[in-house]
Amino acid sequence: MYRYPDSHVFYRKLGHEYPCIVRGEGCWLVDDRGKRYLDAVGGAFVANLGHSNPAIAAALAQQANQFGYLSGTEFTHEPIEALAAELADTLPGDLDKLYFST
Stretch 33-40: mean pLDDT = 93
pLDDT tier, 48 (very low <50, low <70, confident <90, very high otherwise): confident
Higher pLDDT, 73 or 54: 54
**Res 69 pLDDT > 90:** no
**Res 102 pLDDT > 80:** no
pTM over 0.75: no
Average pLDDT, the chain: 89
Q: CA torsion sign, 57 to 26 to 29 to 22?
A: negative
